[in-house]
Amino acid sequence: MIFCEFGPKNRPALFRGPHALVTADSAAEVAPALERLDRARRAGRWIAGWIAYEAGYALEERLLPLMPQMQGPLLAFGIFDRPEDADLPVPDEQVRLSPFRPLISRAGYDAAFARVQDYIRAGDCYQVNLTFPLESRLESGSALGLFHALRGLQPVGFGAFADLGGPALVSRSPELFVRLDAEGLIETRPMKGTAPRDPDPRRDAELAAALAASEKNLAENLMIVDLLRNDIGRISRIGSVRVPELFTVDSFATVHQMSSRVTGQLAAPASLPALMRALFPCGSITGAPKIRAMEIIRELEPFPRGAYCGSLGWMAPDGSGCFSVAIRTLSVWPGGRVTLNVGGGVVDDSTAPEEWEEALWKTRFALPLTTPD
């Protein structure tokens, strides 16, 4: 089962009762799985599911040797007749999480941060998205109950729940990865730049205005816009790529986020394999240039990201589809272990204390459900 709040016509869509589940547990299985899914879609089925960040290694020959040992699948999709225009059932239960604990030390983060800046100053890259996992336990309730509890706390445009094998995914993502319409218009909306909300309206407005004027955040956002323009250009008609929105600040329950919008017109009919090869993973969660940033991430992050920084979504027989960037996404493992990853883009003038604090801001949406320490 997978539920997307961002279904066709921007309505919630529930996919259940699949004809088949398609998974990939190794790098060699990723491309055949994507091809199988696209064949089913072209034959009139709908496909919906998720793809892990590390599947990106399987889509780029240079990155194949970096594939880590994974705990869960690299992708998990279902093949469906059609989505239901329906919501998820709401379980009658209380949901509580144990406090989140970072799985790396602050000293470990600082060391990785310093290495990123060494690479930037050596000219290897301009920006690297450095992340780390936190761990909790589901003390009461279920993954589905957790989704509903967080849905009430964190309204977003790209929320999703997936239970297709491996961990159950509870996603409160505010970020669009890619949207396609049946005429071949392709759109992405990368997010880069974060500031906390404040309960005082005047202070909150000041924080949003400061984010909109921040030279550091504007530069980070523009780097990723340029990367996404290049990625979309790989599968779009020459001259069709546009940036109709630049540096928009949106406010969510716990943070302000800066985003931009990039569009293009596909040069050929939509294809899931071509889409993923051109765009995945989203540049907003890698850095720039993308391939070198991914190599540095693999060197410095001690844990695989898994579903985090991957994508959840759906695609229809007519070529339309929508996928999120799987940030603000919790993985609920059998036995009740819960992981939540956070991070942010590191550039030359970033500081480790500020980036660590910004990363922890991004856990705030889940903190009301945690038991006191």
Residues belonging to the active site: 175, 192
In 3D, which of 222, 236, 238 has the Cα closest to residue 275?
A: 236
Exposed/middle/buried for residue 372 (C-beta within 10 Å: 0-12, 13-18, 19+):
exposed
Cα separation values, 194 from 22, 23, 211, 237, 353, Å: 35, 34, 7, 33, 15
Q: Which of 257, 125, 101 is nearest to 194 (CA)?
A: 257
User: Which residue from 307, 272, 311 is spatially nearest to 37, judged by alpha carbons?
Assistant: 272
With contact defined as beta carbons under 8 Å apart, do 139 and 371 qualify?
Answer: yes
d(C-alpha 36, C-alpha 228), whole Å: 27
CA distance 52 to 122: 30
